[in-house]
């Protein structure tokens, strides 16, 4: 709805400016502050004041006068506040918002006919996923969801580093040591927790063994790396035996978030099909390529990057970035757009990759990188899979679910005793709330800011948290069920109510907030910022709670027509908050 209103406002502004012989290249359309009753505003008068030589408020008044509100479908009037033009909605706007919101698909935008591949997580398959890296799958999955809501055809990819030294060390260690050589039991009964002990044992051996033993081990590790480079099937199978088992366990962990993938794309794919070798030869032929210090490099000074990109060793073997360049050209061949979610320590690498792709003649305007900072725990130490330090994501999720269960049980004692909820219900709600709390607390922050995860804040039912928002959905479901609505069948008959009966400030504010949802999805997808949706859900929860306090729905003294209109508003609220949470990858419980 607000997308239609914005389009209408844009057309009206453009026509008004043209009639005043003013430029229309920047209409200054934006969302007004919460205390302004408008839905759409324009700051164009600030820009235009210098061109016409008049004060911005005077320009704003002239533009407002040039707009014929009677010709508009969704606007009741245009007010000016200083240099701002504020567009206030009319009854048609509210009625169509309510009709749209009753549809359970509300917030899904039209198919754009454009494909996007979102690559995220891509942690090396050397062991369990730790908390420090949890931000990548949470942000990546939410971003993919938001893009799908916005009408893109989205694929979610995990790029598997199965050709580097780490995997060669892991493979050598797995084949060299026995269970009896290991110093510890697996900390969890899942395959990656079992196998990571070999990786740690191998690294400890390389640090502590004699020089002669280390040389022998390094020769075997080098042979594995060369075998992969040469496309040796036997070596590939040896490495894959380790990689695939560890990935299987990591997938189980990530599915708990949930973060699921359409494809695990292996790095060795681009070595075995010849595309890495072909790319390296093409790079050699460019004017930017040089051979020095026993390696082939690409000079990137013209891109403002003072560190050359090494793409080939003197012995002809490729590097991770060389394979990733081939990987990205494959993306360009198969998708209209590519988005990669990376840690902040990969910023230079991303710039080098973008520049090298341009040197190779690729259009990198279709490539975007999202960088995130780390997740810390209060008092937590640095995390390293190689050393076996840090807290695993599984442990964080377990504790989140346990803490959520305690909170849920304390709030639901009566219902549990009365058998309204059985053990399966309590376990499901605890899982939805606990995992939702972790996801929300992480995705709600701007990715570039480092965050410290704090339990009390994340699981606070009264503050701006996942449970706070989830509880709005549960409350909507409770009201609808109390009115006899079958939540699985949908609110029959609520798509033809009189929206003009919703005239209190709380009802209008909630309707306006519902109407904003498609535009929030649009903006979050355009800016690649899923935290915008999280910010919206907090405002939405506040608006719904204000409506709930002031506007009874099922009370006996509520007029039947008003009751139906308010039920429709609750149904629209339910779909809005459920879909907003879904875009963030968070469950919307029916009861809490």
Residue partners of 386: CB distance under 8 A and separation at least 6: 126, 199, 200, 203
* Residue pair 436/442 in contact by the 8 Å Cβ criterion: no
Distance CA 37, CA 34 (A): 7
The pLDDT assigned to 389 comes to 46
For tokens 């036997």, what's the residue? Answer: 234
Phi first, then psi: give them for residue 555, nearest 5 degrees.
-65, 150
DSSP 8-state secondary structure symbol assigned to residue 315: T
Q: What is the 3-state secondary structure (H, E, C) of 9-42?
A: HHHHHHHHHHHCCCCCCCCCEECCCCCCCCCEEE
What are the DSSP E strand ranges found in 350-454?
367-372, 375-376, 451-452
Tens-of-pLDDT digits for all 592 residues of the chain? Answer: 666 888 899 999 999 999 999 999 999 998 888 778 788 999 999 999 988 899 999 999 999 999 999 999 999 999 999 999 999 999 999 999 999 999 999 999 999 999 999 999 999 999 999 887 889 999 999 999 999 999 999 999 999 999 999 999 999 999 999 999 998 899 999 999 999 999 999 999 999 999 999 999 999 999 999 999 999 999 999 999 999 999 999 999 999 999 999 999 999 999 999 999 999 999 999 999 999 989 999 999 999 999 999 999 988 899 999 999 999 999 999 999 999 999 999 999 999 999 999 999 999 999 999 999 877 767 654 434 444 446 889 998 999 999 899 888 887 765 555 557 788 888 999 999 999 999 999 999 988 888 887 777 777 767 778 999 999 999 999 999 999 998 988 766 777 899 999 999 999 999 999 999 999 999 999 999 999 999 999 999 999 999 999 999 999 999 999 999 999 999 999 999 999 999 999 999 998 8
The pLDDT assigned to 385 comes to 44
The pLDDT assigned to 303 comes to 97
The pLDDT assigned to 38 comes to 84
Distance CA 288, CA 301 (A): 9
Which residue, 265, 269, 230, is CA-closest to 120? 265
Distance CA 31, CA 60 (A): 17
Which residue, 129, 118, 124, 123, is CA-closest to 157? 118
Q: What's the CATH code, domain 120-376?
A: 3.40.50.620
CA dihedral sign, ordered 532, 534, 538, 539: positive
The pLDDT assigned to 453 comes to 75
Q: What's the CATH code, domain 393-583?
A: 1.10.730.10
342: left (phi over 0), alpha (psi -120 to 50) or beta: beta
Query: Is it true that domain 2-89 has CATH number 3.30.1360.70?
Result: yes
Burial 288-297 (b: 16+ CB within 10 A, else e): bbeeeeeebb
For tokens 């058998």, what's the residue? Answer: 419
Distance CA 18, CA 231 (A): 64
Residue partners of 103: CB distance under 8 A and separation at least 6: 495, 575
Distance CA 161, CA 155 (A): 19
The pLDDT assigned to 471 comes to 94
Distance CA 377, CA 452 (A): 5
The pLDDT assigned to 464 comes to 75
Distance CA 296, CA 299 (A): 10
Residue partners of 174: CB distance under 8 A and separation at least 6: 195, 198, 199, 241, 242
CA dihedral sign, ordered 188, 189, 192, 198: positive
Phi first, then psi: give them for residue 222, nearest 5 degrees.
-65, -40
Entry pTM: 0.92
Domain boundaries, the chain: 2-89, 120-376, 393-583
Helix (H) or strand (E) holding 252: helix 233-255
């Amino acid at each position: 709805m607000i997308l239609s209103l914005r389009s209408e406002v844009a057309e009206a502004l453009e026509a008004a400016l043209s009639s005043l012989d003013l430029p229309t290249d920047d209409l200054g359309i934006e969302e007004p502050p919460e205390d302004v009753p408008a839905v759409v505003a324009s700051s164009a008068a600030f820009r235009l004041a210098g061109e016409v030589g008049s004060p911005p408020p005077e320009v704003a008044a002239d533009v407002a006068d040039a707009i014929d509100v009677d010709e508009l479908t969704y606007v009741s009037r245009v007010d000016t506040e200083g240099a701002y033009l504020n567009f206030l909605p009319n009854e048609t706007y509210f009625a169509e918002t309510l009709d749209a919101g009753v549809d359970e698909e509300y917030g899904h935008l039209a198919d754009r006919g454009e494909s996007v591949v979102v690559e995220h997580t891509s942690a090396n398959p050397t062991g369990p996923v730790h908390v420090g890296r949890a931000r990548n799958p949470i942000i990546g999955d939410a971003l993919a969801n938001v893009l799908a809501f916005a009408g893109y055809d989205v694929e979610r990819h995990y790029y598997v580093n199965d050709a580097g030294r780490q995997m060669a060390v892991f493979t050598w260690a797995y084949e060299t040591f026995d269970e009896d050589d290991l110093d510890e039991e697996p900390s969890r009964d899942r395959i990656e927790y079992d196998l990571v002990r070999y990786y740690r044992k191998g690294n400890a051996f390389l640090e502590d063994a004699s020089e002669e033993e280390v040389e022998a081990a390094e020769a075997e590790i080098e042979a594995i790396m060369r075998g992969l480079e040469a496309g040796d099937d036997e070596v590939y199978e040896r490495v894959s035996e380790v990689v695939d088992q560890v990935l299987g366990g990591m997938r189980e962990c990530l599915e708990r978030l949930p973060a699921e993938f359409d494809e695990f794309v292996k790095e060795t794919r681009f070595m075995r099909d010849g595309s890495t070798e072909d790319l390296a030869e093409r790079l050699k032929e460019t004017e930017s390529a040089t051979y020095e210090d026993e390696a082939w490099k690409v000079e990137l000074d013209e891109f403002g990057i003072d560190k050359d990109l090494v793409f080939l060793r003197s012995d002809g073997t490729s590097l991770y970035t060389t394979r990733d360049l081939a990987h990205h050209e494959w993306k360009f061949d198969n998708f209209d757009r590519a988005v990669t979610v990376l840690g902040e320590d990969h910023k230079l690498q991303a710039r080098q990759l973008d520049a090298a792709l341009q040197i190779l003649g690729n259009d990198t305007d279709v490539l975007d990188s999202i960088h995130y900072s780390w997740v810390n725990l209060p008092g937590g130490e640095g995390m390293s899979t190689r050393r076996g330090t840090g807290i695993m994501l599984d442990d964080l999720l377990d504790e989140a679910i346990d803490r959520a269960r305690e909170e849920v049980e304390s709030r639901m004692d009566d219902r549990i005793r009365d058998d309204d909820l059985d053990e399966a219900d309590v376990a499901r709600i605890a899982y939805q709330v606990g995992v939702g709390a972790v996801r929300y607390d992480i995705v709600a922050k701007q990715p570039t800011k480092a965050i410290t995860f704090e339990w009390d804040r994340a699981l606070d039912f009264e503050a701006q948290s996942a449970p706070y928002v989830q509880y709005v959905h549960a409350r909507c479901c409770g009201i609808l069920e109390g009115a006899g609505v079958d939540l699985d069948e949908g609110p029959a008959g609520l798509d033809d109510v009189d929206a003009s009966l919703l005239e209190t400030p709380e009802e209008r504010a909630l309707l306006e907030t519902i109407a904003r949802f498609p535009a929030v999805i649009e903006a979050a997808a355009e800016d690649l910022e899923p935290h915008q949706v999280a910010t919206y859900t907090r405002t939405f929860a506040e608006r719904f709670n204000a409506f709930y306090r002031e506007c009874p729905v099922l009370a006996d003294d509520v007029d039947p027509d008003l009751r139906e209109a308010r039920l429709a508003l609750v149904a629209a609220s339910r779909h809005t908050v459920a879909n907003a949470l879904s875009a963030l990858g968070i469950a919307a419980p029916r009861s809490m």
